[in-house]
Structure 1
Amino acid sequence: MEAKQIVEATKALAKASTNDASPSNILNLLNEVKNGVVPSEDLLRSTKVGVMVNKFKQSKNPEINRLAGEIVKKWREDIQKQKDSASRKGSPAANGKATPTRRESPAPTSDGSRSTVPPDQRDHKKDKVDIKRTNQQTRDNSIGLFYNGIAFMSTASPNSILERAVGCEKAVFDAFGPETNKAYVAKVRSLFQNLKNKSNPKLRTNVLSGNIPPERFVQMTADELKSAERREQDEQLQKENLKDSFVPKEEKSISSSLQCGKCGQKKVSYSQAQTRSADEPMTTFCEFLLNLLRV
């Protein structure tokens, strides 16, 4: 299939995913791209056919789910073989000169295997990681924020953290982009603050390990992002507030002789309590009902 045909097939898959197309129709379309597409990284990126096929891995239909998974797996293997082959071609030749290989984006400047920076001080600059992955400064800066949040208190390799940071930024971009949208900026900042929260290490661990996929992470509510301890504290506070709401309050007398110095009205409630020695007069506490002024 030529690029134009692949684009048309991608559009057909997108349409099928939104109009409740029959499973047989979807399977036919998937088989068409499976048999007709010779994958390359540039081709999949430009036509977005890989993204569309990958969406069908979430299908509730087991046949569609399985076929989409097979296609994605095969394409990834084919592309990896292409990269391995290019890498071998780029190794020193008999004349001692290396043939340069094409690289889509700069690789991390560190070896990617480990970081010598203390876990509580890690960020992409100290780890010497190149975050320029999209050729768009705002998005690259967002990748840096996600890296800093995930790397905090982590001993994981820079490469694995960077991979997850890139995935998180892409998920935000897909859901709230473009990067000029206020919703995109607000979501990145909010998620970074939750990742950097010292009391929520489990969130960082789950995001890094993939237990919380990027697509799920960016859609989590504020309550879902909380740590278990914080959620328990909030629930306890709600219980206490509910309990307090059922505690009977002290009844107060209402006087028409006392006048509010602020509004001039005479709707005043008052109560008395012994705040000084027993042989001295009781203290009168007044609350003006219209403006809740207390004296």
Structure 2
Amino acid sequence: MGCEEEVLKIKKKLDKMTSSDSDQTQALDILKVLQGLPINFQVLSKTRIGMTVNALRKASTDEEVISTAKQLIKNWKKFVPDKKDDDEKEGKEEKKKEKEDKKEAKNSSNTSNNSNSSSSSGSSKPASFPSSAPPTTDFLRLKCREMIANALKLSEMPDGVVDTPESLAEKIEEAIYQEFRNTDAAYKNRLRSRVYNLKDSKNPQLRENVLRGVISPKKMACMTSEEMASEEMKALREKFTKEGIDDHQLAIAQGTKTDLLKCGKCGQRNCTYNQMQTRSSDEPMTTFVLCNHCGNRWKFC
């Protein structure tokens, strides 16, 4: 069994001990088992074992359990990269990518003839996705990446998957974060709408298109609700829009257009009115008015 699987099994046991009234008699033995495992930053990020151990430390009254938990957390903190190191690493990666782009552009002119001959003999391959998204230690961002990955893994994988759900989720979240540059309400709303639409059982095509590369992570990060909607929902919206236009046009066709009446809502004098006898025959007719500009309706006698 791999280290990650072993840590996940231990995490489930410790989760049951994090409440103050739970049975923690085996807590110390389990923590000692964790000390002997070759845990690295990747395992810490995927399993969230650090949070569970910290919760156990707070819930426990056993000094030895508390001391062992603190020592584990202290040791694991060494694996978490410093933000300054991350910035320097990202800067080096950007410079390296610029050099590679320049080199590729220089070589492209020398290989243009070969590219033309190969394209005539066979179909061209789709453009590959960018490299993995930069790592992050932000708990909220990691949780959001996990939510997107779970939505992509909701059912059986289709044929032609271009990348793992985890990798695609990282790229989608990274693109959203780069747009907002923080994790405020707008960032959270954008993430929720991605997860909701990917989980929609009535719209499996969206999830499959992301997994197959038809929709890139960058495009998925900025699609509107209308763009992500299923074909059925798009047809329904189109139907409602058409019915609204037809109702509006019918109201205009059956009425009398006038500029003598003024809309109390928008102030425009572009109205259509109809008169109907709604009371007894010796009473004046009721006038129904529609503003052709804003759609406001009212009546007067």
| TM-score when normalising by structure 2 | 0.42
User: What TM-score results when the alignment is normalised by the length of structure 1?
Assistant: 0.43
